[in-house]
Amino acid sequence: MAEDISPRSAPFHWMQKVGRPTARPHFILQLVGVMTAIAILLPLVYLLIRAAGAGVEELWTLITRPRTLEITLNSIGLAITVTLLSALIAIPLAFLTVRTDLPGRRFWLIVTTLPLAIPTYVGSFALIAAFGPRGSILQLLLQPLGVERLPSIYGWFGATVAITLFTYPYLLISVRSALQGMDPALEEASRSLGHSSHSTFFRVTLPHLRPAIAAGGLLVALYTLQDFGTPALMRFDSFTRAIFLQYRSSFNRNLAAALALMLVLLVLAILALEYRARTKAKYYSRGSGSRQQQRRIPLGKWKGLALAFCIFITLISLVLPVGVIGFWLYRGMVSGGAGLAPFQGTLTFAFNSIYAAGLAALVSTLFALPIAILAVRFPSRFSTSLEVCSYLGFGMPGIVVALSLVYFGANYLPALYQKLPILIFAYLILFLPQSVGMVRNSLLQVSPTLEESARCLGRTSWQTIRDIVIPLVRPGIISGAMLIFLTAIKELPATLLLAPIGFRTLAIQVWLATAEDAAFSQAAAAALVILAVCTVSTLVILSQEYRQGEKNGVKSRG
């Protein structure tokens, strides 16, 4: 009997052929989608122009030298391990915080999201301070036992752990919003047919989460490829580190561009993999669109273990970095006698950060919607290529995107160069797929029959999007906007080069204080304010989500 309940034969839309909606995508939808894709390809154009400036022989030497192969393999290995580890952390966390009676569920919901707000360079620094071979907190604790030196954290191990700890929330948020958007009737049907919670999870829930896991995993993998801060601090020889090196020590823009183009190929390969992992399966049910209250699974004897897991992850990914930051601040304020000086100006910086990151979140969400709608509702080679384009910027190192906009901005748009719109545009290129992915997942869970009915009842396609689609994909829109806000607020290379002069953000402040000055207390103050801003905004967004959930619950009961 049990075999019959597997998704393939479940009595929902699974096996039906994809019914192609009769309506064509709205013209404006297509136009915005195409414009966005073209805009995002600007960095690629820049890279091609620059790489073409290098001699053939020079390029050949670069491509064929053994080191290029080494850094390629290093980066691929890193991306794979980080993604797998993140999945091992994020999927259980998402399930625990959404579907179970975990004590303090809402508290864990928030704190497990927050590591995303910690810039990886700050987080890596904290990990080194805590677990470094000598003089770290752990070594000092173990010293009475005769431990003079810990095994080295540097290299592959440290880089993997650090990036995982501060990027797993990508997967977490993605999976969580899919869990929230899933029709509880599916799982209830499974249970009423005699399946335990356990087998329902593996046979119904997990397969339904597949697109969300793929989308979140994609973000983690691409972030890993383009991250510079962690490989630099953990002394891991990644592809992006090699690109930075090429810029910084030889001023050779052409060879750096050639390397960056190779990285783009790697990104495309990962995108192709993700695309192959997609199925034609449907992830919506015949539901009415209003959600029922989801049942919470009692954890029973597993409660202790579940709590321990949450506590452990929170301790190393949030409490530890915050503790180290707090210690720097304390040292500067008390022993260094700086008093409140490290906080000077942080209010303005915080305002600037919120303003820029908030704008980035809003604008990116606006541009992500058409791409996601086209990709899900009007699948074609055309819409797929739009979606692929939207991901390219996220896989490129920030410095590459920044320099491409420096080039195009200064030479072709001087009136806007180093003005806020260009900075927001850079954020759009860098972070758009975070929103595209989230909206796409939400949309996959909404049955197109609702839209078809709306069209039948005389709504225009624009009205349908406004009145039906957007309200239903709200969880995806919110998660996407939140992700963009959290990542834009800590973005550095593009902000340094493209922000209006004197427009100081918290991330710039952190960098300025650590880069040349070693003024750790100032850096710590700004980093703490970043965290505070992110905590408050996460709280606001989640509470909104919660209220919405309550309303829906009430509706369906009534």
Partner 1 sequence: MATVKKFAQLSAGVVALLTTWGVGLAGTALAQTLTIYSGRGEALIGPLIEQAEQDLGIDIEVRYGDTAELAIAILEEGSNSPADIFFGQDAGALGALAREGRTVELSDDLLSQVDERFRSPNGQWVGISGRTRVINYNTDLVDPSELPDSIWELTEPEWRGRVGWAPTNGSFQAFVTALRLVEGDERALEWLRGMQENDTIIYNNNTAIVEALGRGEVELGLVNNYYLYRFLAEDPDFPVAQHYTRGDAGSMINVAGVAVLDTTDQPEDAEAFIQYLLTPEGQAFFAEETKEYPLVVGIEPPEDQLSIDEINPPRIDLSDLADLEGTLELLQEAGVL
CB of 464 to partner 1, least distance (A): 12
Residue 518's alpha-carbon distances to 89, 212, 365, 388, 500, in angstroms, are 34, 41, 37, 41, 25
Among 68, 72, 136, 197, binds partner 1 (CB under 8 A): 136
Stretch touching partner 1 by CB under 8 A, among 104-112, 382-390, 469-477, 534-542: 469-477
Helix (H) or strand (E) holding 525, with range, is: helix 520-557
Contacts of 486 (CB under 8 A, 6+ apart): 116, 117, 357, 534, 537, 538
User: Please, are residues 129 and 136 in contact by the beta-carbon 8 Å criterion?
Assistant: yes
By CB under 8 A, tell whether 327 contacts partner 1: no
Is the Cβ of residue 112 or residue 365 nearer to partner 1 in the bound state?
365
Residue 171 forms beta bridges with which residues? Answer: none
Binding mask 238-277 for partner 1 (x = CB under 8 A): ---x---x-xxxxxxx------------------------
Residue 519 engages partner 1 in binding (rule: CB under 8 A): yes
**Judged by CB under 8 A, which of 323, 421, 549, 553 binds partner 1?**
421
Start-end of H helices in 378-447: 381-392, 398-412, 420-444
Contact predicate 208/283, CB 8 Å: yes
| Nearest distance in Å: CB 89, partner 1 | 26
Note whether 5 binds partner 1 by CB under 8 A.
Answer: no
Between residue 186 and residue 245, which ones bind partner 1 under the rule CB under 8 A?
232-233, 235, 241, 245
Q: How far is CA 533 from CA 239, 495, 527, 538, in A?
A: 32, 18, 10, 9
> In terms of C-beta density within 10 A (0-12 exposed, 13-18 middle, 19 or more buried), how is residue 172 classed?
buried
If one asks whether residue 420 binds partner 1 (CB under 8 A), the answer comes out as yes
Q: What are phi and psi of 297, to 5 degrees?
A: -85, 125
Least distance (Å) between residue 311 CB and partner 1: 27
Among residues 195 and 241, whose Cβ is nearest to partner 1?
241
The CA-CA-CA angle for residues 198, 200, 205, to 5°, reads: 110
Strand partners, 297: 100
Residue 59 engages partner 1 in binding (rule: CB under 8 A): no
Q: Which of 381, 411, 458, 558 binds partner 1 (CB under 8 A)?
A: 411
Of the two residues 92 and 133, which places its CB atom closer to partner 1 in the complex?
Answer: 133
Q: How far is the CB of 329 from partner 1 (least distance, A)?
A: 11
Name the residues that contact partner 1, by CB under 8 A.
67, 129, 132-136, 232-233, 235, 241, 245, 247-253, 331-332, 335-336, 359, 362-363, 366, 399, 403, 406-407, 410-411, 414-421, 424, 466-467, 470-471, 474, 493, 496-497, 500-502, 508, 512-522
